[in-house]
Structure 1
Amino acid sequence: MGVLLFAASLTPSLIPREPMVQGILGGLLIALGYLLGKTFGLIWHAADMPRLQGRPARLLDMVLAVTAVILMVWTVTFNLSWQNDLRNKMEMEPAEAQYLATILISALLTFAVIFIIGILVRELFRWVRRHFYRFMPMRRANVFGAATVVLILFVVTRDGILDLAVTWLDESYEIAQELFDVAPPPPAKANKTGSASSLVDWKAIGRPGRDFIMTGPDADAISAFTGKPALDPIRVYVGRANGETPEERAELALAELKRLKAFEREVLIVTSPTGTGWMDPGAHDPVEYMHNGNIATVGAQYSYLQSPLALILETRTGLDQATALLKVVHEYWMTLPKENRPRLYVHGLSLGAWSSMYATNLFRLVGDPIDGAFWAGPPFTSGFWQYVQNARRPDSPWVLPTIGDGSLVRYASHFSNPTQAEAEWGSMRIVFLQYSSDPIVFYDPFSLWRAPPWMNDPPAEDVSEHLTFIPIVTQFQLALDMALAFGTPPGHGHAYYARDYIDPWVEVTAPEAWTSEKTERLKAHCNVGFQFGCAGQKVPGGSGSFGN
């Protein structure tokens, strides 16, 4: 069983895998298959089921072994071509011949390490069981011995190793924020958040927020592009250390928006950052060009952890912060005269999209609703995204669905923009940007035993046609893909970048007198990659949306 699962792990998934990573995955699945086989045998033996003896048993062993070896040789032979086919679709360098040797060696080493750990756990169980034998029957000692070992391992990993690891990570990322004594000098301009005139303490904002405030196009850069006078875009950011609670940080953000007269701008965007507080410049720079700087954007940090850790360990924090910020901004915005207030939009990338969708509840969509939403790379956990996905037309693909007549919700990808629909836009506009090869979006926890919906459609342009559902194995492959998703080239996996934000922003915010020619000019201007803003500045830490 271990060899069969290893062979299956060599089949392609959504993200190309380096040989060491592929080998570790294979080693894990060898160990899992071995454990499943031993467990099945133990249950069979404990149930006193009949067992083959003699020649029939040897013949069955031989048939199973030959079948497993043939399958392994077949997948090993084709693995390199499968991987290179996928790498070619993503415009990556092909893997070399030594790829296979590295896979086999790392798989065997991984299995050996796990096997040794298993032996140590077994010996711990035997030691505990021997002590129980002194005062209880054998079967009872077996049960209590197993329960004791499970409890010991649970406590050691949860309250020991895991707790220390999480504490270390949290402290490390907090240090990386460059708070207080190590913060750089504040901005000199009074119209910047964190300046001497600002209500927000610059030293407490943190590095991601300061990068967001100080980068991006100013009025001169925008004017040089548009050829007409422009305004300096307003960017408000409140760090986690700027307030004790989500509500305090939200109220501070609102006060700063008022100070900067953000509600007098044409467009106001309430955005949710990723885990560490990072704001993707590729998402925010283009829309500021579109509206000639007559725009304000506000965000609030909720965590210091990277997004995968924040998703697991600080789930409520992100949801509460997004809800608090949108609530106070929306409630104040509703008190303003409709003819004299900005158009209000919400935005989020990755984990920020999830929290932003959560905050955009029924109260934000009826009565006096927001004007629209643009969410990029929505994680599979997003309830609103799942609801919309399941409302798709049956004849449309899962990775790029059609929702009704397209007057409310549209989708975009690296290969498709949201300009075409049966009907014109209604009073509210919602766009999802999702790449067909993004496992953060298309991971399916039920893929342990059934194929995800998108696997039932023809493969998308950057997905391998050799991708096949295999119970258990597909679950491990997609889980590994999530870890690798932000290391792909821009436009694939979870690496969203500036060019692909432009069409959705045009559709959602409807810039005045905007044309397709201007869209192409802006795409050319922003064609430096997803870790750069359209201002041409390399943004520190901008190496991937989910990882930052």
Structure 2
Amino acid sequence: MTIDLAAPAPTPGTREKSPRIPLPHSFFGPCLGSTAATTVAVVVSLVPSLLPRASLTQGILSGVLVAFCLALTALFRRAVPHRLRALSGPHEAEARGLAVAVGAAMVAVSVTWAHHWQNALRAAMDVPPIGFRYWPEVLAGTVVTATVLVGGAAGIRALTRMAGRARSVAALAVAAILLGSGITSIASPSPDTASASAPAVALDPGMSGSPLSLVNWNSLGTHGRRFVSIEPSGSPVRVYIGLAAAADDQSRAALAVRELERAGGFERDHLVVAIPTGSGWVDANAVQGFEDRWGDDVALVAQQYSDTPSWVTFVFDRDAASRSARALVAAVRGHIATMPPDRRPDLHVYGQSLGAIGGSAVFDERNPGPCEALWAGPPAGSVRTDGATVLANTSDPVVRWQPSLLWSPPDLSRAEQDAPMPPWLPVVGFLQTTVDLFTSLDSAPGHGHRYGTEQAQCEPAVS
């Protein structure tokens, strides 16, 4: 046993003071960076949207932003640790408590604003208002989403350390391949064999797929069968050429002309070339609008160019709509040119969403004449609107979304206001509009990316 003679002896009658143990950061609450990141993420996620937002969607958005901002904070903390040390000191507890209080107040104000905004949108769109239950659901979705993302990132990091970089890269590559295969299977659904055997009701002779048609019912595809099965009024002429009907755009266009001849489409006063969306869908409201407007004086023809969701076609093969539209309109125009001038029908080109992009390509060399081009919900920056009749809702994210929305407000000069419009904010406006794209078809006609029978109207009116 050794005795330290240099150590001072304790004074009689006094207690020896225990050494001061530093308290962990969590004792004072969340660090300033995490509090600020969480506050900013939640406030940004609650900025007014274009469309009514479900609690699940709002919760996922808030959770994703919280996880993202926390990740940025962690990266910043690693990059400049010397600056963060300056924040520690005797007043650290007070600073953290003040940050939490300020953050909670900002979130409370944002929630109140978002609550009133969501109910204003719902009132304008005839949707039931949200109640108190909405916000606990949002909170639960936010916590679960952020926890899964943050925990998943930590787990991947731990596995990377354990398995080594090479094995981790290989595992991520396999996961990416499996994910890509899943997306492909979703984007390319299997044929609808249940409805391919025979039409549920007897079709009019003017319909593709009817017993007199040159086009087989099975070749119409899901959306083609829906197109010809829309409840008719009078004696409609509807021609639809599916992908399976011919090998390429030109062959399908030639078949469309022969089918129009057979059905008497060129004998009508008005001929509407409807450019489908990426999946081959033609809006039933537009079909009914044209037939209500012109009755038995109109024929409609559509040609499919893809069978994947529109966003897939838009991203990976946007030119498919333009190639198909050019081929079909050129074939129809060529046949009309052979007819006597006094018997030629008025030609109209109609397109909604991606269909508007395809239809716009038909007029690359000139502007359309009155009522010659009708676009509904045209994607921002992708469609020529000079001379065309444009129908667009201000609440439609499709007519707003484009990269320039990051730094400049959208051009809504051709849009009709149908609901309260949120203020545009740089970056934030782009983010909120991107989220609204996923629910743009959930509204009633006249709001979002849904349009009604007014798609058939044009100015000046055609008698």
Q: TM-score, normalised by structure 2?
A: 0.82
Which residue of 1 is the match for residue 86 of structure 2? 52
Which aligned pairs between 1:271-310 and structure 2 lie closer than 5 A?
271-310=274-313
Query: Aligned pair 1:4/2:40, yes or no?
Result: yes
SS for the counterpart of 1:275 is: coil
The match for 2:192 among 146, 161, 175 is 175
The match for 2:395 among 428, 437, 442 is 437
SS for the counterpart of 1:331 is: helix
Amino acid at match of 1:156: A
> d(CA) in 1 for partners of 2:202 and 2:312?
32
Distance verdict in 2 for CA 1:381–1:60, change over 3 Å: farther
> d(CA) in 2 for partners of 1:208 and 1:319?
19
The structural deviation recorded for 1:472 is: 4.0
The structural deviation recorded for 1:19 is: 1.2
Distance verdict in 2 for CA 1:64–1:99, change over 3 Å: same
The structural deviation recorded for 1:255 is: 1.6
Per-residue CA deviations over 1:463-505 (Å, capped at 9, x if unaligned) read: 24xx34444433332111111111112211112112x335x24
Which residue of 2 is the match for residue 141 of structure 1? none
> d(CA) in 2 for partners of 1:274 and 1:42?
48
Per-residue CA deviations over 1:14-57 (Å, capped at 9, x if unaligned) read: 01111121111111111111122223333335xx7785253398
Which residue of 1 is the match for residue 351 of structure 2? 348
Which residue of 1 is the match for residue 131 of structure 2? 96
Conserved 8 A contact 2:120-2:420 = no
SS for the counterpart of 2:188 is: helix
SS for the counterpart of 1:345 is: strand
Which residue of 1 is the match for residue 3 of structure 2? none
Which residue of 2 is the match for residue 501 of structure 1? 455
Per-residue CA deviations over 1:516-543 (Å, capped at 9, x if unaligned) read: xxxxxxxxxxxxxxxxxxxxxxxxxxxx
Which residue of 2 is the match for residue 192 of structure 1? 207
Conserved 8 A contact 2:381-2:402 = no
Amino acid at match of 1:199: L
> d(CA) in 2 for partners of 1:358 and 1:148?
48
Instruction: Output the aligned Cα RMSD.
Output: 3.2
Which residue of 2 is the match for residue 373 of structure 1? 373
> d(CA) in 1 for partners of 2:408 and 2:292?
42
Which residue of 2 is the match for residue 17 of structure 1? 53
> d(CA) in 1 for partners of 2:199 and 2:412?
49
Distance verdict in 2 for CA 1:234–1:53, change over 3 Å: closer
Distance verdict in 2 for CA 1:346–1:176, change over 3 Å: farther
Conserved 8 A contact 1:84-1:94 = yes
SS for the counterpart of 2:296 is: coil
Distance verdict in 2 for CA 1:358–1:51, change over 3 Å: farther
> d(CA) in 2 for partners of 1:115 and 1:31?
6
Which residue of 2 is the match for residue 71 of structure 1? 106
Distance verdict in 2 for CA 1:461–1:325, change over 3 Å: closer
Distance verdict in 2 for CA 1:446–1:216, change over 3 Å: same
Which residue of 2 is the match for residue 163 of structure 1? 181
Conserved 8 A contact 1:186-1:202 = no
> d(CA) in 1 for partners of 2:124 and 2:203?
47
The structural deviation recorded for 1:320 is: 2.3
Conserved 8 A contact 2:257-2:332 = yes
Per-residue CA deviations over 1:348-395 (Å, capped at 9, x if unaligned) read: 112212221123321x648xx79611110112252424xx5xxxxxxx
Per-residue CA deviations over 1:102-130 (Å, capped at 9, x if unaligned) read: 111111001111112211222243246xx
Which residue of 1 is the match for residue 251 of structure 2? 248
SS for the counterpart of 2:439 is: helix
Per-residue CA deviations over 1:217-242 (Å, capped at 9, x if unaligned) read: 343xxxxxxxxxxxx23211111111
Higher RCO (Cα < 8 Å, 6 or more apart):
1
| Equivalent residues, number | 426
> d(CA) in 1 for partners of 2:50 and 2:411?
11
Amino acid at match of 1:112: T
Which residue of 1 is the match for residue 462 of structure 2? 511
> d(CA) in 2 for partners of 1:493 and 1:377?
9
Q: What stretches of structure 1 move > 6 A for 4+ residues in a row?
A: none
SS for the counterpart of 2:49 is: coil
Conserved 8 A contact 1:343-1:371 = no
Conserved 8 A contact 2:55-2:134 = yes
The structural deviation recorded for 1:99 is: 0.9
SS for the counterpart of 2:180 is: helix
Distance verdict in 2 for CA 1:471–1:282, change over 3 Å: same
Conserved 8 A contact 2:276-2:354 = yes
Query: Aligned pair 1:484/2:442, yes or no?
Result: no
Identity of aligned residues (%): 30
The structural deviation recorded for 1:206 is: 1.8
Gaps of 5+ in 1: 132-144, 220-231, 389-408, 410-429, 513-548
The structural deviation recorded for 1:434 is: 0.3
Which aligned pairs between 1:183-262 and structure 2 lie closer than 5 A?
183-184=198-199, 187=202, 189-219=204-234, 232-262=235-265
Which residue of 2 is the match for residue 397 of structure 1? none
SS for the counterpart of 1:236 is: strand
> d(CA) in 1 for partners of 2:371 and 2:298?
14
Shifted more, 84-93 versus 330-339: the winner is: 330-339
> d(CA) in 1 for partners of 2:162 and 2:205?
70
Distance verdict in 2 for CA 1:149–1:247, change over 3 Å: farther
The structural deviation recorded for 1:72 is: 1.2
Conserved 8 A contact 2:220-2:245 = yes
Which residue of 2 is the match for residue 545 of structure 1? none
Conserved 8 A contact 2:374-2:390 = yes
> d(CA) in 2 for partners of 1:289 and 1:93?
31
> d(CA) in 2 for partners of 1:461 and 1:346?
25
> d(CA) in 2 for partners of 1:65 and 1:187?
68
Per-residue CA deviations over 1:424-482 (Å, capped at 9, x if unaligned) read: xxxxxx2000011111111233344x2423599xx945124xx3444443333211111
SS for the counterpart of 2:238 is: strand
> d(CA) in 2 for partners of 1:275 and 1:168?
14
> d(CA) in 2 for partners of 1:127 and 1:16?
45
> d(CA) in 2 for partners of 1:184 and 1:455?
42
SS for the counterpart of 1:36 is: helix
SS for the counterpart of 1:375 is: strand
Distance verdict in 2 for CA 1:452–1:177, change over 3 Å: farther
> d(CA) in 2 for partners of 1:278 and 1:26?
33
Distance verdict in 2 for CA 1:485–1:198, change over 3 Å: same
> d(CA) in 2 for partners of 1:97 and 1:326?
54
> d(CA) in 1 for partners of 2:370 and 2:423?
42
Conserved 8 A contact 1:3-1:33 = no
